[in-house]
């Protein structure tokens, strides 16, 4: 049976205007037809009246840690647990993420096969959840940034072999730690970690298999190293200078800013003092960097670091507000969170609302372009053609949810 969203205001992720009076026909998991204006008679379909409602593609978060719960000390909750138990905990966080309207995530560091197994179960349709793109464990230097959810490797040969092993294990991308960060004791966000030679080895191996490399890169030297060796996505990018930002724009490197996690960390004294101090130092430069990146036309894909300390999944929408405050218009923010994010993740089957794509969509009660914060509120979430949150339903429908 088909489902038809009738007479909606469509924000499709592609064009920069709202397409009024749109009808979207969903069959099984896919969008099979989009028409404008009067609908022709359709037999055997659930018709959902979306008059005065707005439909956008399901949102995408390009930087999450599903194994962490976003509490003030997420690592302690998984520390010492086996990967199977951690995978079940990650499933709970994946469901919470889907319920915020995020229908796809890229997970960029998880221990063992925990999130890789969860990815397989969800992506193959055995469990309900957001589509997952996963790096498995991040590659870091011995004792490097969040080494407890990574795999430690040193020197070109070890890095090359570790990258090959991860690819053999079925990861969708490689994540590397190019600099220090906030939430590992005894390191500075600005200090480089993996060397240029080590980064080159991982990029070589990943690109041979057509996989991208995402780099945690907060300090300038680390960012410069990443740009020089052809890293595909820069995560955080806090201390990028003007030259690096121009280079990102020129090379088409994606920036995944994760502004919200730094703001949360800098304003919550429940975290250890040493982390709080570091967080407070990065918030200002991070904001200025994002403003410049927008100005110079860097490809920005929305990512939050949700799961990290004091940042559970519901903070996703605050990231969008920060992007808008930094200079993006609201349509650009929605596109960064849908189409551009899908491109960043190499997902060609979703991220926009058009014929032949997977039916991941949100039905919103008012215009998000006028106020992005309405994305936080009640909405209906369609994942792979099925409504997933009927208890919050705001649209009259006779649809029976399975």
Is the Cβ of residue 23 or residue 258 nearer to Zn ion in the bound state?
258
Is the Cβ of residue 12 or residue 61 nearer to Zn ion in the bound state?
61
Cβ within 8 Å of residue 30, ≥6 positions away: 356, 357, 358, 359, 385
* Structural element, H or E, at residue 250: helix 242-251
Cβ-closest position to Zn ion: 305
Is the Cβ of residue 305 or residue 380 nearer to Zn ion in the bound state?
305
Min dist CB 305 to Zn ion, Å, is 4
Min dist CB 342 to Zn ion, Å, is 20
Is the Cβ of residue 309 or residue 385 nearer to Zn ion in the bound state?
309
Min dist CB 237 to Zn ion, Å, is 13
Min dist CB 220 to Zn ion, Å, is 19
CA 189/CA 218 separation, integer angstroms: 6
Is the Cβ of residue 110 or residue 163 nearer to Zn ion in the bound state?
110
Measuring CA to CA, which residue among 91, 63, 90 is closest to residue 345? 63
CA 317/CA 306 separation, integer angstroms: 11
Antiparallel, parallel or unpaired: β 173-177 and 212-217? parallel
CA triplet 122, 126, 131: central angle to 5 degrees? 20
Is the Cβ of residue 166 or residue 334 nearer to Zn ion in the bound state?
166
The owner of tokens 């730690």 is 177
**Relative orientation angle of helices 273-295 and 259-266, to the nearest 10 degrees:** 150
Interface residues toward Zn ion, by CB under 5 A: 305
Min dist CB 90 to Zn ion, Å, is 14
Cβ within 8 Å of residue 163, ≥6 positions away: 139, 174, 201, 202, 205, 206
Is the Cβ of residue 62 or residue 388 nearer to Zn ion in the bound state?
62
Cβ within 8 Å of residue 369, ≥6 positions away: 11, 18, 330, 331, 334
Min dist CB 222 to Zn ion, Å, is 14
Min dist CB 303 to Zn ion, Å, is 8
CA 352/CA 364 separation, integer angstroms: 16
């Amino acid at each position: 049976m088909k489902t038809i969203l009738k007479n909606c205001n469509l924000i499709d992720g592609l064009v920069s205007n709202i397409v009024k009076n749109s009808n979207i026909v969903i069959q099984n998991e896919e969008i099979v037809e989009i028409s404008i204006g009067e609908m022709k008679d359709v037999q055997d379909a659930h018709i959902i009246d979306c008059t005065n409602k707005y439909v956008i593609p399901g949102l995408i978060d390009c930087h999450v840690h599903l194994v962490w719960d976003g509490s003030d000390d997420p690592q302690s909750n998984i520390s010492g647990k086996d990967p199977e138990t951690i995978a079940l905990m990650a499933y709970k966080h994946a469901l919470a993420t889907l319920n915020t309207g995020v229908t796809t995530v890229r997970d960029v560091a998880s221990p063992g096969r925990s999130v890789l197994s969860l990815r397989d179960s969800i992506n193959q349709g055995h469990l309900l959840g957001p589509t997952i793109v996963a790096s498995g464990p991040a590659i870091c230097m011995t004792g490097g940034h969040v080494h407890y959810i990574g795999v430690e490797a040193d020197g070109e040969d070890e890095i090359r072999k570790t990258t090959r092993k991860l690819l053999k294990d079925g990861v969708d991308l490689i994540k590397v730690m190019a600099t220090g960060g906030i939430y590992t004791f005894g390191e500075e966000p600005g200090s480089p970690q993996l060397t240029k030679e080590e980064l080159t080895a991982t990029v070589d191996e990943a690109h041979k298999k057509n996989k991208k490399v995402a780099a945690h890169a907060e300090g300038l030297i680390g960012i410069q190293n990443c740009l020089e060796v052809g890293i595909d996505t820069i995560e955080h990018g806090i201390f990028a200078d003007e030259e690096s930002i121009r280079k990102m724009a020129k090379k088409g490197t994606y920036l995944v800013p994760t502004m919200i996690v730094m703001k949360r960390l800098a304003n919550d004294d429940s975290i250890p003092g040493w982390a709080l101090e570091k967080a407070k130092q990065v918030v200002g430069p991070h904001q200025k960097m994002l403003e410049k990146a927008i100005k110079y036309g860097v490809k920005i894909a929305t990512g939050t670091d949700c799961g990290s300390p004091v940042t559970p999944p519901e903070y996703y929408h605050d990231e969008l507000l920060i992007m808008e405050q930094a200079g993006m218009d609201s349509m650009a923010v929605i596109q960064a969170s849908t189409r551009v994010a899908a491109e960043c993740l190499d997902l060609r089957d979703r991220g926009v609302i058009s014929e032949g794509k997977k039916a991941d969509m949100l039905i919103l009660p008012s215009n998000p372009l006028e106020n992005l914060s309405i994305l936080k509120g009640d909405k209906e979430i369609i994942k792979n053609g099925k409504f997933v949150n009927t208890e919050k339903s705001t649209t009259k429908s006779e649809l029976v949810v399975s």
